[in-house]
Chain A
Amino acid sequence: MSIALIATTTTTVRDAEFDLIQRHRAGDRSAFDEVYSQFAEMVWNVALRLCGDPDRAADLSQEIFLRVYRHLGGFRGRSTLRTWIYRIALNHCRGRLEGVGRWSFRRLFEEGEESVEPLPDLSRDPEEQAVASDDGRRVTQALALLPLEFRAAVVLRDLEGLAYDEISAVLGVPIGTVRSRIARGRERLRDLLEKES
């Protein structure tokens, strides 16, 4: 993608976000509905991967969206709306989950069954999907054992696909710290997965 095209796309996104915020400030109730539709899947998956418990993830997601609603009018556009919502989500989850420990993860894959409905992967046949789901369980369990700060960095990078500078903006830490947390998180994850196999 050329630089000119990237710049145009970014401007269009920012314009659309600005319009959305203006509508919200003017009392247009459908503006927040649009924010919810656009970011519900993102907030839910981040909350679920960070806390590991679908019930708790639903509570967290609800609380995150209420915070978004409360502060949306004050959004100044210093970052994209997506980054801003990620930041609210991460801060909220961090506040709620610090000190909770690994117990909260037991429900996600207990009894060998995932209690949330994954999005269908039409590119795989059922057998491939079953193998992937088994491996997914192992990876999720290993992810659950990471300290929260490493887990957050790995989730943002490897599951959400954010670039280092965006993770730095979301977590409010320098890029060097992001790099180190991602590397250490992945290293521990790799060790845990190797130990298991």
Chain B
Amino acid sequence: MNRTSHLTAELVSAYLDRELPLAERRRLDLHLQSCTACRQSVDHLRGTLGRLAALPRSNPPAALAERVRWGVLGERREPERRRSFGARLTSGWGGLAALGSALVLALGVGIAHDFATARDRAFALKPPREVVTVSEQGFLFLPQTTSRAAGRTFVWNEDLWVEEGVKEASPRRTVLASSPAGKQLLARYHDLGYLIRGGGRVLLRDRRDTLELWSGS
């Protein structure tokens, strides 16, 4: 660098970050003393960095911890199931029976493995908290069952779990649990598996869509 060549954007940026070796930094200091254009570049960038630094940080939503907890619970149960099956293989008559089951499984149902694993993981969960309350509707006092899953509250309505705040009449897209979209949804919210087991259906908001998740049975 000399008096006629200006600093590159990369040098200016690293200079402000104090990420240059001392000798190089001194050279730049000297150059800046005599070059107005480069001093302006430094000031300009300093202003942009100040604005970036002023961006506020935010706290994660409260529901995130619950979602992670449920996801982790699903992960924990999967290896536990595998271990207990492995233990059966190594013990006496039970071992022979389990070995027989393993052969049948390997020959017969390999194709269904992916879906079964995702579904079992979801179904192996203990039920989320389910609360029955009595609510007033007109002149009647009716029991209302609510359940917590996917970090939200669902209200049981005849044959459908409806996410609180979602209108039952909303236009919706039906997603089968065994479809790629359904598997993806269950991988994100393992505990929804509890709500749809035994043929249940769940109406929920996912990003901007209203989905009806259905086990298909």
Contacts and interface: CB of A to CB of B under 8 A. Distances in A.
Contact of B60 (A61, A140, A186): A61
A67 to B, nearest CB: 10
A183 B54 CA distance: 19
Contacts of A29: 76
Quick one: which of B10, B17, B52, B65 has the most chain A CB within 10 A?
A: B52
A178 B120 CA distance: 44
Contacts of A54: 61
Contact of B59 (A36, A44, A58, A158): A44
Contacts of B64: 40, 44, 58, 61-62
Contacts of A89: none
A10 B12 CA distance: 31
Contact of B54 (A49, A132, A157, A184): A132
Contacts, number: 116
B55 A139 contact: yes
Interface stretch (A1-9, A14-22, A76-84, A112-120): A112-120
Interface in A9-63: 29, 32, 36, 40-41, 43-45, 48-49, 54-56, 58-59, 61-63
A93 to B, nearest CB: 15
A176 B72 CA distance: 38
Given A36-B65, A41-B60, A157-B17, A62 B54 contact: no
A143 B53 CA distance: 13
B71 A65 contact: yes
Contacts of B55: 49, 136, 139-140, 159
A143 B9 CA distance: 18
Contact of A41 (B12, B17, B56, B59): B59
Quick one: which of B8, B57, B76 has the most chain A CB within 10 A?
A: B57
A144 interface: no
A148 interface: no
A117 B63 CA distance: 14
B73 to A, nearest CB: 10
Nearest to A180: B10
Interface residues of B, number: 34
A172 to B, nearest CB: 19
Contacts of B68: 36, 61-62, 65-66
Interface stretch (B29-37, B41-49, B100-108, B132-140): B41-49
A56 B71 CA distance: 16
B121 to A, nearest CB: 12
Contacts of B48: 186, 189-190, 193
A163 interface: yes
Main SS class of interface, A = helix
Given A36-B68, A40-B64, A66-B72, A139 B52 contact: yes
Contacts of B52: 139, 143, 154, 158-159, 189
B65 A117 contact: no
A24 B64 CA distance: 21
A70 interface: yes
12 contacts: A36-B68, A40-B60, A43-B60, A44-B61, A61-B60, A118-B58, A135-B51, A143-B52, A163-B19, A164-B14, A184-B10, A193-B48
Interface of B: 8-10, 12-14, 17, 19, 44-45, 48-49, 51-61, 63-65, 67-68, 71-72, 75-76, 188, 207
Interface of A: 29, 32, 36, 40-41, 43-45, 48-49, 54-56, 58-59, 61-63, 65-66, 69-70, 116-119, 121, 132-133, 135-136, 139-140, 143, 154, 157-159, 163-164, 179-180, 182-184, 186-187, 189-190, 193
